[in-house]
Amino acid sequence: MKDVRRKILLNPGPATTTDTVKEAMVVEDICPREKDFCKLLDTVKEDLVKVVHGGDDYVCALFTASGTGGLEAAITSAVPREKKILIVDNGAYGARMANIAATFEIEVVLYKLAYGDYPDVDHIENLLRSNAGVSHIAVVHHETTTGMLNPVQSICDVARKFDVEVIVDCMSSYAGIPIDIKQWGAGYLISSSNKCIQGMPGMVFVIFKKALLPSLRGQKRSFYFDLYSQYVGFEKTGQMQFTPPVQVAYALRQALDEYFVEGEIRRWDRYQENWVTLCQGLKKLRFEFLLPERHQSKILLAVIEPSDPRYNFDTMHDYLYQRGYTIYPGKGAKAATFRLSVLGDLHKRDIENFLQELKDYLDFGLNIEGGKTSNDL
């Protein structure tokens, strides 16, 4: 294969991938209607459910789209016309789900918090009590805006009391943080091919309770993102309804194989080791974080931006980017932040090397403590 420079992506996906995942995309041209390809997709669908221990109770529908397409499919397919959806909005991705619902004129009961505040499950219970007609709750598991891990299990427990289904955006947690969907009891889980599963962007999947299938029939608001017809169509024909991203699917197959070889716990341990290394290193460099540790996903850190007037995210980004490290700006959190994620094919030594580059930048480009620039040194 072409020699490709390994870049360290500290943005929360699309992630740094292994060479073997990249190579998996170089395949013979194949018509996606051929049985060989259909078989591949079938195993992908099955294995995606296995990652979250869905057993026979959960099934999977695939779409060609980025993550947002999967959210749109779940929300627009699941909520009946006369019903409402309660959305927990404590970050840009909670807000996105509310925007999707509003676009399709689905009535929303919005639980709006500052980006960085932790949801109060008692308040959710009160909202369910005081708002008749809520059939679904939508919540982001790992809110990538802030690095917060929302209390999905408690929300599912409350939802069960009211016979309400929960839609969980697991875009940046699936295959990173261990998830047992049966234990949650969530109705729908959405994730994409390019985050903790460590594949390439282009596919999104909705894993949902098989028992909900009849309730989805005839309920669609979108032609393309209709969960029912996508799932049932695949069951009948073994094919996706519309052109799949063939090479991305091969990469996802490889990424799943690598996930199962590494294993759920070892992947989590690797991410944890990266995160601890990152946290400790940043603390040494006097950085502070948006969230208390008890609310952290331990996959992404929202780092408070230095108050030094000469600090500039873009300059820091460009310095690090030239050296092979991609960092990520903030996204409307309650304090100004930039973000660093440890998901993807990253290892402790990558994080250590990044910290050294960051230290060099701070020492020679900007000294946070002493306020010196490289010209002063």
Ligand X SMILES: Cc1ncc(COP(=O)(O)O)c(C=O)c1O
The residues of the shown chain that bind ligand X, judged by CB under 6 A, are 12, 66-68, 93, 140, 144, 169, 171-172, 192
Closest CB 174 distance from ligand X, rounded Å:
10
Rounded distance between C-alpha atoms, residue 19 and residue 1, angstroms: 9
Closest CB 95 distance from ligand X, rounded Å:
10
Q: State how far the alpha carbon of 140 is from the alpha carbons of 31, 143, 150, 151, 179, in Å.
A: 36, 6, 7, 9, 13
Token readout for 200 is 């390439």
Closest CB 157 distance from ligand X, rounded Å:
22
CB 271 within 8 A of CB 147: no
Sheet holding 328-329, edge to edge: 300-304, 337-341, 328-329
Alpha-helix runs per DSSP H in the chain = 19-24, 35-51, 67-78, 92-103, 121-130, 152-161, 181-184, 213-216, 227-237, 246-262, 264-284, 313-322, 348-360
Closest CB 2 distance from ligand X, rounded Å:
26
- Cβ closest to ligand X, residue 66 vs residue 99: 66
Rounded distance between C-alpha atoms, residue 111 and residue 95, angstroms: 10
- Cβ closest to ligand X, residue 205 vs residue 319: 205
- Cβ closest to ligand X, residue 148 vs residue 362: 148
Token readout for 184 is 């949650």
Closest CB 192 distance from ligand X, rounded Å:
5
Q: Which of 251, 260, 330 is nearest to 291 (CA)?
A: 330
Q: Please identify the residue of the shown chain whose CB is closest to the bound ligand X.
A: 67
CB atoms within 10 A of CB 81: 9
Q: How many residues are recorded in the chain?
A: 377
The DSSP annotation for 222-242 comes to -STT-HHHHHHHHHHHSS-SS
CB atoms within 10 A of CB 263: 10
- 149 SS3 class: strand
Closest CB 68 distance from ligand X, rounded Å:
3
- Cβ closest to ligand X, residue 68 vs residue 230: 68
Closest CB 171 distance from ligand X, rounded Å:
3
Closest CB 360 distance from ligand X, rounded Å:
29
- Cβ closest to ligand X, residue 171 vs residue 240: 171
Residue with tokens 């939508």: 138
Rounded distance between C-alpha atoms, residue 138 and residue 136, angstroms: 7
Q: Which of 238, 213, 239 is nearest to 228 (CA)?
A: 213
DSSP state of 373: B
- Cβ closest to ligand X, residue 167 vs residue 355: 167
Rounded distance between C-alpha atoms, residue 255 and residue 5, angstroms: 19
Closest CB 193 distance from ligand X, rounded Å:
9
- Cβ closest to ligand X, residue 68 vs residue 239: 68
- Cβ closest to ligand X, residue 40 vs residue 167: 167
Closest CB 94 distance from ligand X, rounded Å:
9
Rounded distance between C-alpha atoms, residue 113 and residue 88, angstroms: 8
- Cβ closest to ligand X, residue 150 vs residue 239: 150
- Cβ closest to ligand X, residue 21 vs residue 139: 139
